[in-house]
Structure 1
Amino acid sequence: MTDRYAVIGNPIEHSKSPFIHQRFAEQTGQDLGYEKILGDLEYFADDVREFFAAGGRGMNVTVPFKEQAWRLADELGPEARTAGAVNTLTFMEDGRIRGDNTDGIGLVRDLQQNLGLDLSAKRVLLLGAGGASRGVARPLLEQGVETLVIANRTAARAVELAGDLQVFGRVEGCGLDELAGRSFDLVINGTAAGLAGRVPDIPAGCFAGDAWAYDMMYAVEPTAFVQWAQQHGAAHAVDGLGMLVEQAAESFFLWRGVRPRTETVIKELRS
């Protein structure tokens, strides 16, 4: 019997996850189906439970439901527990729901393995303090970055998140308006501004020499943040397609116990 999996979000039509997981299934000989679910903004938990009640085995969770998924889970993996956000749900045999977060693993693997960026001793700026940023902050610190600055439109949220992460490395939180005069080796956009084609309000001089800009969003054409970064001093600017595939591979491994290859899937999506 074919096992059912899905991705839930709102919006969701743009999602490449069904294609990615189908390719992983073909690679590894796994019998599974994977679909998209447009989540109800008010009844997310009901949508999840309905899917599992109908035989679903696991779900990926995307914007804007990652923090709701964290609250829904009966059991949390270590990365999810720290992040306060979940992007992978697993329906366990005892009827409980486990929540994991593979976003940080996906981002780090894309940066280091696919793009060849050594994160050690780097000054990193992470834009946004929502579910996307929460999922990647701890894994970034664990790579030995010199400092991680989390900047958010509402400074209090960034300060709170930074406080939760102090044990993992040098991290600080601030408002976007406090970034003037500072420069970074890597600037990561974890905000949802890109969904509306906008760019976070940050100073143009935030890129150090040979700096990278990384947008956790992805699109067929360069995202608004990637375009802005290219025009304002970033030596390298990329979107989050590689992260998408890498975090999906980790979810697939958690569900099926086999690790798929990612290189060919990234190339297919790029082409």
Structure 2
Amino acid sequence: MSTRRYAVFGHPVAQSLSPRIHAAFARQTGIDLEYTAIDAEPADFVAALERFAADGGGGANVTLPLKEAAFALCQHSSERARRAGAVNTLTRNDGHWHGDNTDGVGLVRDLTDRQGLDLRARRTLLLGAGGAARGVAPALLDAGVEELIIVNRTPERADALADALGEPERAHSRYWESLRDEGDFELIINATSAGRSGGHLPLPSTLTNSRTLAVDLSYGEGAIAFLAWARSVGCRSVVDGLGMLVEQAAESFRIWHGVRPDTDAVYAALREQNAILVTAD
């Protein structure tokens, strides 16, 4: 049997942990596969993906900034991908790409199953409206958050995401400049790329209360600035995106191979190598 070929596409993508995660899953399940990282700028993404398919690629993960572009090129997509308008998991079937989005289920599994946190009835602030935010927003609503407020530097993108979610009673967009007037939240999720690009998010301390859970969808150095802010304003729980990364990868692995790997040992090994502290009460 020939080795199955898979990859993660992004820009930049050299530091991605996905190849290491899928290699660990493959060893655990006895599946022979090759999984690599392929850097593709947005303008070159479609051509790079087609070259990968021509070379025998059977599936791919997609990370920033390509998730919405991946959705647009799929001939078929899952319900959760359609709700998100973004794809992070591609499967090659009959010469076409099928798209899915495992980000949301990955985030919720990490927060509820691993961290033991209850998301129900939490007033939630989602920072960002790009592919990462689109991937997790529907799952947050399904997990029972009370209200989802979306803000983005480009307000039209926040408006578009709120409209796409189709729950006007719970999902709303707001202007970044009006955050000081929005009161406090029990859950704040940073889905922007500010930390990865060395930027700083100007956030008021009035956003938090004694129960606030702060989550950055990034991990490693990309999560440092936001999580430092969260600790400085007294957030009760602080979580980075490493667990989400492992859980969304496990769901992608299940889609491709029909078996869901155990994630605990893989997460523990990666956590030991990534110094960002996670505290969850």
**Pairwise TM-score range, normalised by the shorter structure:** over 0.9
Which residue number in structure 2 is paired with residue 226 of structure 1?
A: 227
Deviations 1:198-217 (A, max 9, x none): 23232122112121110000
Q: Which residue of 2 aligns with 1:267?
A: 268
Relative distance call for 1:10 and 1:255 in structure 2 (3 A) is same
2:185 matches 1:180:
no
In 1, the alpha carbon distance for the partners of 2:168 and 2:91 equals 27
Structure 1 residue ranges, 4+ long, deviating more than 3 angstroms after superposition:
none
Q: 1:197 to 1:238 in 2, by over 3 A?
A: farther
- The 5 Å alignment of 1:196-211 reads 196-211=197-212
Structure 2 residue 94 is the aligned partner of structure 1 residue 97: no
Task: Give the 3-state SS of the residue equivalent to 1:254 in structure 2.
Answer: helix
Q: Which residue of 1 aligns with 2:244?
A: 243
Counterpart in the other structure of 1:123? 123
Q: Which residue identity lines up with residue 13 of structure 1 in the other structure?
A: A
CA distance in 1, matches of 2:268, 2:134: 28
Aligned counterpart, 2:67: 66
Contact 1:110 1:243 in 2 (8 A): yes
Report the 3-state secondary structure (helix = DSSP H, G, I; strand = E; otherwise coil) of the residue aligned with 2:42.
Answer: coil
Length-normalised TM-score, structure 2: 0.93
Amino acid of the structure 1 residue aligned with 2:22: H
Q: CA deviation at 1:154?
A: 1.8
C-alpha distance in 2 between matches for 1:6 and 1:96 = 16
Return the letter of the residue paired with 2:246: V
Give the RMSD, CA atoms, in angstroms.
1.4
Question: Contact (CA 8 Å) 1:70, 1:84: kept in 2 or not?
Answer: yes
Q: Which runs of 5+ in 2 are unaligned?
A: 273-281
Rounded Cα–Cα distance in structure 1 between residues aligned with 2:262 and 2:186: 29
Give the Å deviation of 1:220.
5.8
The code of the aligned residue for 2:57 comes to: G
Paired position in structure 2 for 1:155: 155
**Aligned amino acid, residue 233 of structure 1:** G
Deviation at 1:47, TM superposition (A): 0.4
Taking the aligned partners of 2:70 and 2:199, their CA distance within structure 1 comes to 26
- How many Å separate the matches in 2 of 1:267 and 1:6? 23
Deviation, structure 1 residue 143? 1.1
| Cα contact 2:195–2:221 (8 A) shared by 1 | no
Deviation readout 1:18-51 (Å, 9 max, x if unpaired):
0000010111111111001011331100000110
In 1, are the aligned partners of 2:128 and 2:150 still within 8 Å (CA)? yes
Tell me, in whole angstroms, the C-alpha distance in 2 between the residues paired with 1:164 and 1:85.
12
Determine the C-alpha separation between the residues in 2 that align with 1:62 and 1:209: 33
User: Does structure 1 residue 80 correspond to structure 2 residue 84?
Assistant: no
Offset, 1:163: 1.5
Query: Secondary structure, in 3 states, of the residue corresponding to 1:15?
Result: coil
1:28-67 superposed matches below 5 A: 28-67=29-68
Give distance in 1, aligned partners of 2:154 and 2:205: 20
Partner Cα separation in structure 2 for residue 233 and residue 169 of structure 1: 30
Structure 1 residues not aligned, in runs of 5+: none
TM-score (norm. length: structure 1)? 0.96
Which residue pairs with 1:214 in the alignment? Answer: 215
Q: Distance in 2 between matches of 1:68 and 1:20?
A: 24
Partner amino acid, structure 2, of 1:68:
A
CA distance in 1, matches of 2:106, 2:209: 24
Check conservation: 2:68, 2:86, Cα contact below 8 A: yes
Question: Residue by residue, what CA displacement relative to the aligned partner does 1:41-81 show, whole Å, maximum 9, x if unpaired?
Answer: 31100000110110011000001000110111110011111
Shift of 1:9: 0.5
1:11 aligns with 2:12: yes
| More displaced 10-residue stretch of structure 1: 149-158 or 256-265 | 149-158
Q: 1:221 to 1:159 in 2, by over 3 A?
A: closer
Within 5 A, what are the aligned runs for 1:99-114?
99-114=99-114
SS of 1:43 mapped into structure 2: helix
2:132 and 2:10 map into 1 onto residues whose CA distance is 13
